[in-house]
Structure formats: structure tokens, C-alpha cells
Chain A
Amino acid sequence: MSERVLLKNMRSDCGPVGFDEYRQLGGYEALERAVRTMTPDEVINMVTESGLRGRGGAGFPAGRKWGFVRKDAPHPRYIQSNTDEMEPGTFKDRVLVNTDPHLVIEGITMAAYAVQADVAVFFIRPSYNDDAELIERELSAAREAGMLGKNILGSDFSFDIEVHRSAGRYICGESSAQANAIMGKRPNPDKTGHMTSSGLWGMPTVVNNVETLAHVPHIIRNGVEWFKGLAATPTGDGTKLYCVSGEVVDPGCYELPMGTRLGDIIFEHAGGMLPGAEFKTCIPGGASTSFVTQAQLATPMDFDSMKAAGLSLGTGSIVVFDKNTCLVQATINILTYFARESCGWCTPCRDGIPYMLSLLQDIEAGDGTEADVKRLETVAAGMAHAYCGFAPGAASTVKGLLRSFRDEVREHLDGRGCPFGDMEKPKPGDWKVLDRDAS
């Protein structure tokens, strides 16, 4: 078993670790060390040297992002910490917040110290209402103990965290859209400026995913070399929370060395395929990444290795498909999601996704032609011209389908429709009793 870092305090009853328990387990020592003995620059340097990259999907080096906040930048400065995961397959932040809320709070506070922020806004999606309540409770405990608020731990660093409940839309996970959401505006992305110079209320703002932030206290406590040593690959960084769902025996959230091979995560850690199911493909990093082939299962799941294999790590959330699942139907499901969640700001996305969806529906119904497949390819390629990363994300499943499972798409053409229609197995839309439910 490899070392657990983010989930190391996980209790046997899976309940959240409270303030006192967290303290006893060494919690807030990193914050103490930072505010008492380190300059903000030293914290930034350490995090930069550790190679920690953002876990929200983009993989941008966290330390470098913090370094963008100029020393003479005005106050108040903000941290936007993001627990808005809404991408199908992704649930790591929910697990993390529910396991060790103070680790997340300490991580946010460390980032705030590094960029000398004044306020953090903890952005939580509405379906995580319980988590929002939990964080609010634990924030009070941290405040009472002097870990938040005025003059933290007796230093001259003052900082506090507010919880912002979202009202639910996937695009709110995009940093500038999230800033608009917090500012009570319609949350369309806004690429006219840089968040680090002009984010929330026009002030310097650093946006980080909570999984990223939770690494920071550990890096400060245990050092850069230790952190680098956790990864399975030379360019990996630390550990990673991999979510596994779909047709596997033990779906769940696994903390493993960054760069653990995709196949190992599915077949060793998540227990392999359910009895009777046979692996066909998976989407390796949430619904905005593309289908992989069997041959790609050996790819290490870190940012660089995935990129080199023409894939993307995304949020590291793996959804596993069985051989009897129609991938045209799966793509229709995924595009329905993206069509619904599009913010509607730009034409390629607003019109392009529903168009791809209708082409796929024609193909699924047996009304598609080879020309439709070509058209699908053209529209998917056009998504690169959309305003933000949402539309290219939506297109990546379509691209993966056409690249790696073109034969399966072709089987649908020529008036025959879905070849999976006659399978004895229940089709999507039917109840299926899963073997793991029997226990």
C-alpha cells in the first residue's frame, strides 16, 4: 500500500476529523511554521519546487500561479477555493472535505499566507449542502482556536474564509465564471483579464481546487524531496485522488501515487470489472476527456504522460465501460449533459453541442450516413474556437469516439441503428441489479 497523504487521517467510520483530533494528528503545524518562521516567498518557492500542479483539471503549477500576484498588488486579495465538481465521474473533493475538513482549511490558509490574501471564498455547489454546513462549523472551530481571523497564531497575518453556496451550474467551476457567480452576476466566463491581477471585485484573486490546496500543509511539513518521492513517475507530483466509477467491483476514491498506471487503478485498486462485465473503454479524467483504448491502459496517470499519449488527466476521474455498453449512447448521454450545462455565451458551444448531439441521435437511430460522421468530426474540431474550455471538453468524447471506436459508430449506419439493441443484457434505461449490491 502506498503512502496516503490527503486521506491519511481518514477515520474508520469515515466521519470528518474534528479540530482537536486534527490538531493531535499534527494539523496546523505547517501553518504555525509558515507564519512564525517563513516568509510568504519561502512558502511560494517551496510549493513551486515541489512541482505541485493544480488538481482541478488544468494542471497549472500552483506555486507559479501564486507567484503571479505582484508584491505591490493592492488589497484586499482573494483566494477562491473551488468545490464545484460537477463533471460526471468526479467526487474527490466531496470525499476530501468530508474526511478532513481542517486539512482543506489549513491548505487554503497557507495559500492565503503565500499571496498575503485577506479573504477566501469557499465556493460549494448546492448538492453539497451538507458539506457547506460541515465547513461552516469547522471554520468556527478554527476561528475560535486562532487559526483564522485577526492576527492568526499571534502573527500579523489576518485572514478569514467565507462559504459561498452556489445555485448549481457546471460552468461555475471555471474560475472567471465562478468569480462572476460570487459577484452576483450571470456566471459566464470572462477572459478579458487575469484573475491574479483582476479577479473578484477587480482585485487580485488566486483560484485553486481544494485537492491542490490540501497538499500544501504536507509539503511545508515534510519537504519538497519527500513530496517528489511520493509520485510514481519522475514528472508526477505527490499523490492523487483518483475516482473510479462504472462497471467495476469497488468504485470509490483512491489516493495513489501520481502517475499510477490507468490499468492498475482499475484492475488492482478498484477490483476490476464486475462479474460478467468485460472492459471496453473508460474516460480517464471526467466526462470532458476522451475514451481510451485497451492499449492505453498502461499509461501512467500524470499530466505529462497522459498528454504524451494524446489523452488528458483532467480531474483523474475514471468512468469504466463494459463491452456491452453502446458508446454512441454513452456519448449522447455525455453531450446531453454538456448541451444542458453550456452557459450559452458563444455560438460554437451553444449551437455546436446540440448539433453534434442531433447527429449522434440520428446515427443511433439508424438514420445516419458516412457524411454525418464527417460532419460530426468537423463540428467537434470547430469547438476549439469556442470562448472557453467547456466546448473543447465536450468535443473530446466525440473525438475519442471517432478516433478509437469508429467501427462501432459505423455499425450504426446504413439504416441498421444500434447493434446493441438486441443484447440480452439490460439496456440503459432498465434497472440492473449489480452484483456488489447483493452483499
Chain B
Amino acid sequence: MLLPEELETEIQTMVREAEHVEEKLIDIIYLLQNHFGCFSDVALGHASRLTGKTTVELEELCTFYDFIYRRPVGRFVIHVCDGVACWMHHENSLFQYLCDKLGVGVGEVTEDGLFTVLPTACLGNCHNAPAMLINGKHYGRLTPKKVDEIIDELRENADNIIQCLCR
């Protein structure tokens, strides 16, 4: 499967201009992940071809990180904080609430392809616990009502919302 010309050129330029291509691997993985929806084997093949790194080197790297998804995820990945401050404000039920509401288990994709719920380390929003992060945006002091509103709004505007690099 070929990459769109624009993406191919963008990555080639990144590789050419980098003093050390290794420094750019994560950015390149992010770009491919956003194009393919996740960092699939096909995406990994492209990363290897374009950077000259072996698939093993890339696999070793990308399996380490939280924000690189080797399996399909929804268009919006909902990172729910399970750090201790959020836990104390009962984020477990935030997690459960989201899974029930969306009808998915951890890491699954909703039928409409829009959402995946993942637990995540502290989001740096502890003073607004319980907190979650979606598409680079922080949401805090969550209540069931607020969560409903956020999900509705994302659903309604899904087509117009630009995907952020680290989603």
C-alpha cells in the first residue's frame, strides 16, 4: 500500500534533514499512526523503509510506549487517568461509566469507529481530578453529565475535528 505523496515527501524530508534520524523516529511513527489509524504492520513497514531502521528495531521501540497503538483504536482515544488523585475522586467509575456508555471494554473500538477507552498514568491535571485526555485536550472535574456532553460533542463534530499528533 503506497503512502499519499504528501506524507511520503514529508517523512523523506524529515529523514534527510535530521542530523540523527533516530531522533525523529517517534515523530515519524506518530505521522504514520495517524495516517493508518494505528501503527499497524503496514505502517511499521513504511517506517522501516523510510528510515532505514529494521522492523525489529522499530518494534522494540514502539512496544514500549503508551501513545503508540499497534492495534486499531478509535478515532478518539480516551485516556482516563488512574493516578492516585483521580482514583481518590473515583475515577474507576469514570472508567466504568465510559466503557458502559460506549459499550466497549478496555482498548476496544466502538461500533462507529469513534472511541477507544484506555487507562493512563497521571495526566498532570491532578488538581482537576477526575481527569481524562482526548485528542490532546484535557478535561477535568468530571461528572457523568460532563462526560455525556463531551462525548456528544465529539460525536457531532467528529468529521471537523483535526486529529492531533499525539493522540
Which positions in A face B, CB cutoff 8 Å?
Answer: 85-91, 93-94, 121, 125-130, 132, 162, 164-170, 181-187, 201, 243-247, 251-253, 283, 287, 317, 319, 321-322, 325, 330, 333-334, 336-337, 340-341, 343, 426, 428-434, 437
Question: Which residues B70-95 have CB closer than 8 A to chain A?
Answer: 79, 82-85, 87-90, 92-94
- Residues of chain B lying within 8 A (CB to CB) of residue A251: 85, 126-129
Q: How many A-B residue pairs have CB under 8 A?
A: 168
State whether the Cβ of B8 lies closer than 8 Å to any Cβ in chain A: no
The 5 closest A-B pairs by CB, nearest first: A184-B22, A88-B83, A167-B65, A126-B166, A168-B66
Closest-by-CB residue of A relative to B53 is: A184
Q: Please give the distance in Å from A277's CB to the nearest CB on chain B.
A: 10
Question: Do A127 and B83 have beta carbons less than 8 Å apart?
Answer: no
Q: Please give the distance in Å from A333's CB to the nearest CB on chain B.
A: 5
- Residues of chain B lying within 8 A (CB to CB) of residue A428: 87-88, 90, 92
State whether the Cβ of B150 lies closer than 8 Å to any Cβ in chain A: no
State the CA gap A319–B86 with chains docked (Å).
Answer: 10
**Secondary structure type dominating chain A contacts:** mixed
- Residues of chain B lying within 8 A (CB to CB) of residue A185: 22, 61
Q: Contacts A90-B124, A252-B127 given: A434-B83 contact, CB under 8 Å?
A: no
Question: Do B88 and A246 have beta carbons less than 8 Å apart?
Answer: yes
- Residues of chain A lying within 8 A (CB to CB) of residue B84: 88-89, 283, 287, 319, 330, 333-334, 337
Q: Please give the distance in Å from B80's CB to the nearest CB on chain A.
A: 12
Question: Do B120 and A430 have beta carbons less than 8 Å apart?
Answer: no
State the CA gap A431–B146 with chains docked (Å).
Answer: 12
Q: Please give the distance in Å from A32's CB to the nearest CB on chain B.
A: 29
State whether the Cβ of B11 lies closer than 8 Å to any Cβ in chain A: no
Which one of B29, B62, B93 contacts A430 once the chains associate, using CB atoms below 8 Å?
Answer: B93
26 contacts between A and B (CB under 8 A): A88-B85, A88-B122, A91-B127, A93-B124, A126-B166, A127-B67, A127-B123, A129-B166, A130-B136, A130-B138, A164-B26, A167-B65, A167-B68, A167-B166, A168-B166, A184-B22, A245-B126, A245-B127, A287-B83, A287-B84, A330-B88, A336-B82, A337-B121, A429-B90, A429-B93, A437-B141
Question: Do B90 and A426 have beta carbons less than 8 Å apart?
Answer: yes
Question: Do B126 and A89 have beta carbons less than 8 Å apart?
Answer: yes
Which one of B23, B85, B120 contacts A245 once the chains associate, using CB atoms below 8 Å?
Answer: B85
Q: Contacts A243-B126, A245-B126 given: A165-B166 contact, CB under 8 Å?
A: yes
Closest-by-CB residue of A relative to B26 is: A167
Q: Please give the distance in Å from B164's CB to the nearest CB on chain A.
A: 5
State the CA gap A89–B29 with chains docked (Å).
Answer: 29
- Residues of chain B lying within 8 A (CB to CB) of residue A343: 64
Closest-by-CB residue of B relative to A86 is: B121
Known: A88-B121, A184-B25, A245-B127. 12 other contacts (CB 8 A): A86-B124, A165-B26, A166-B65, A168-B166, A184-B21, A186-B64, A201-B20, A246-B88, A287-B83, A429-B90, A429-B93, A433-B143
